[in-house]
A and B are shown apart, each in its own frame.
Chain A
Amino acid sequence: MNLLIRGGTVVGPDAVFRADVLVESGVIVGVGEGLSSANSTVVDATGCWVGPAFVDIHTHLREPGREAAETIESGARAAAIGGFGAVVAMPNTEPALDNVPVVSYVLAQGAKTPIDVAVAGAITMGRKGESLAPLAELAALGVRLFTDDGTGVQNPLVMRRALEYAGPLGIRLAQHCEDEHLANGGVMNEGVLSARLGLAGRSSVAEEIMVQRDIALVRLTGSRVHFLHLSTATSLAMVRAARAEGLDVTCEVAPHHFTLSEDACSTFDPQFKVHPPLRPESDRSALQAALASGDIDAVATDHAPHTPELKDLAFDEAPAGMLGLEHVAALTNEALGENPVALFHLLSRGPARVAQLRANDHRVGLSAHGGVVMVGEDANLVVFDPSATWTGDRATLHSRATNTPYHGRALVGQVRSTIVKGRLVVHEGALQ
């Protein structure tokens, strides 16, 4: 199938320019003004930004084990609607993604979806934080990112060994930064509000102490680490200092941490329960202000589907986590203001670099993501209308789950089309 994306503004790594984009056989074959093609499907991109399809490096697809909340197939559909050409499936499934057969299963199921599904492997067996998972065997399957996400690796000696082992393999470890002893089972940010509400708090220091610890371990081992969903201004400052020192440290922020503050918890609505927790407004605004600073490598959703009955429990009993795939582009667009270069850095180029998805990997059928829109590149593209206004609605989500905190929220910016490997997966905002 040939595609002609006409009338849009192409977003490059540093600047934007008006151009049409012609796609044939999964590859970009033309970029320029006034292109035409006799037998192409035309995608009208008037008023839209055209850039590399988004990449989410933090997606909980729940399969295997909790298919009632999400499957690889439903999660991939939600991702495509959100403008994603690739997602990285998190390993906290049941069983965990800590062995070759289960990882192979997820990759095989992912290959049946219209987008690219990469896998993050577990760092330790069963994500228990005790003994190392077969990192080399999984790396041989194409796994490039490893994490015990859901919890961090608590034992510093285990984390040190994992970093030492990972270094020569060329893979990157990603940490969920929260010291569980210090977090002590808390259910929201610890502070004035948690004390008033009588809810057990998770201190921001529980996050920051692990960021600091892992920076020290990266310095010690010469390895590299990626920090998942950083939620405080102090965490970002520590990462900035580590990078200035020359350490190979990357980080992401989740949309809920720069769009929502802990005040949302004051109605005890479990839709706002997440780990790390929503922080005070001062952290939220600091994260938003840092989005375009270059200190943040990626906006990553931490898309965490839960079945409705679990989110109908009391606040302290309900599971943590919220959906993100279908709203993140609009939320990031709004938070950035008119800044297409930063938007595509945070949602495509940065995350593709962190997860090493810049180059294609034919062994596992993954195409190249987060690149430049130019002739010869794999045709993974998104057409984003930065000025479309719409309203978040849990009833129209493509995810199996409905636990979005953005129900009823006014949104600015919407994905019009998602093109993956040259195929028009989402057209005019609808799955094809």
Chain B
Amino acid sequence: MNMRGANLLTLEGMSRDSLLDVLDTAESFFEVNQRTVKKVPALKGRVVASLFFEESTRTRLSFETAAKRLGADVVSLAVASSSVKKGESLRDTITTIDALGLDAVVLRHRSSGAALQVSRYVPHVRVINAGDGQHQHPTQGLLDAFTVRQILAERHGVTGSESGSSLFEGLRVLIVGDIRHSRVARSDIAAYSALGAEVRVAAPGTLLPNSLEGWPVTVAKDFDEALAWADVVGLLRLQHERGSGSYVPSLSEFTTTFGLTRARASLLKPEVIVMHPGPMNRGVEIDSLVADLPQSVITRQVANGVPVRMAVLYLSLAEKKEIA
């Protein structure tokens, strides 16, 4: 799957070359974001709708900032707080907004598959999945890979694009927590493994997917050992507000067994990269002090969201194939 002129619905099946194309493009936009004037007119005159059926301040702001820095006009509808309620036809909502003359839709939806469904309703509009249910969160996977490559490239004194995917070869990535319900985990695993990393997961039995058959991961037998093994530790939010809490006896037991506590942090390699897609449950999956250690790159992930989303919008739209 190539990103250019295409929808971004999932990272599953995306080739290493396509991933690198996005990361390299994001790197050039990262430079733009360091300038005093942070705008480039690449998408001037294009209309991007940001359509969030689910609350998400940071992803929405990140996408809208990205679109504006590319010069696009942004139509924003925070559906979660508007009149659109659960049960309104997805088709009705999207075709109504499409009547405004859209080029792209950035869609966040609580239901898995919503972005793919929307892409069928408006085939002439490019659809960017900003998180669909428990399925995929492709731009999070991309910005996580971008962040890891950026940090490793800095250490090696090269640029990310010079390094290609070489810095991912043999890289040990551990993803911890609520894998079962996490769209971030599904996108991260696809990205890291396609780029050449070795991925392990660690979670209580109830928070692993029912089947990991076909997933390019192994399950860590011992969490403490896995922490000492890892070059990158990706923590996930325990979505206890959505009932994930009932999959474990208590939040405190989860913290005791799979939380990155201060005691466990001492097991980590000194140069480890600790990540979290946010928002964090401080004191649940990650100790508050650990979250603020220098190895923790959480704010850097947020910052990288903008250039990565600029790259996604640019590649999807700037080379948009006209539909006959």
Contact = CB atoms under 8 A, between A and B. Distances in A.
Interface of A: 190-192, 194-201, 203, 267-269, 309, 312-317
B184 to A, nearest CB: 11
Nearest to A317: B111
Contact of A192 (B110, B136, B186, B213): B213
Interface band, chain B: 20 to 34
A314 B112 CA distance: 8
Given A198-B134, A312-B89, A315-B117, A191 B211 contact: yes
A268 B117 contact: yes
Nearest to B179: A195
Nearest to A193: B211
Nearest to A315: B113
Nearest to A186: B210
A197 B213 contact: no
B245 interface: no
- The DSSP consensus for interface residues of chain A is loop
15 contacts: A191-B210, A191-B211, A195-B180, A195-B210, A195-B212, A196-B186, A197-B135, A198-B134, A198-B183, A268-B114, A269-B117, A309-B92, A313-B89, A314-B109, A315-B112
B186 A198 contact: yes
Contacts of B135: 197-199
A313 B87 contact: yes
B214 A315 contact: no
A192 B89 contact: no
B221 interface: no
B73 interface: no
B90 A314 contact: yes
Q: Is the interface of B mostly helix, strand, loop or mixed?
A: loop
Contact of B214 (A192, A201, A267, A314): A192
A313 B90 contact: yes
Nearest to B214: A192
Contact of B116 (A201, A267, A313, A317): A267
Nearest to B212: A195
B292 to A, nearest CB: 31
Contacts of A190: 210
B17 interface: no
B35 interface: no
Nearest to A195: B209
B86 interface: yes
Given A312-B92, A313-B90, A197 B211 contact: no
A194 B210 contact: yes
A190 B110 CA distance: 19
Given A194-B210, A198-B133, A312 B113 contact: no
A267 B183 CA distance: 17
Contacts of B214: 192, 196
Contacts of A199: 112-113, 133-135
B210 A268 contact: no
Contact of A317 (B86, B183, B209, B215): B86
Contact of B136 (A195, A198, A313): A198
B91 interface: yes
A195 B87 CA distance: 24
A196 B183 CA distance: 10
A314 B212 contact: no
B12 interface: yes
Contacts of A312: 89-92
A269 B86 CA distance: 18
Given A196-B12, A317-B86, A201 B112 contact: no
Contacts of B186: 196, 198
A203 B215 CA distance: 20
Nearest to B117: A268
A293 B186 CA distance: 43
A267 B115 CA distance: 11
Contacts of A269: 117
Max chain A Cβ within 10 angstroms of own Cβ: one of B132, B210, B212:
B210
Contacts of B111: 314-317
Contacts of B110: 314
Q: Would you list the 8 A-B pairs with minimal beta carbon distance, nearest first? A: A268-B113, A314-B111, A198-B134, A198-B135, A195-B209, A198-B112, A312-B91, A312-B89
A314 B113 contact: yes
B52 to A, nearest CB: 14
A361 B111 CA distance: 49
Given A192-B211, A196-B12, A198-B136, A314 B114 contact: yes
Nearest to B182: A198
B211 A195 contact: yes
Contacts of A200: 134
B213 to A, nearest CB: 5
Interface string B171-200: 000000000100100100000000000000
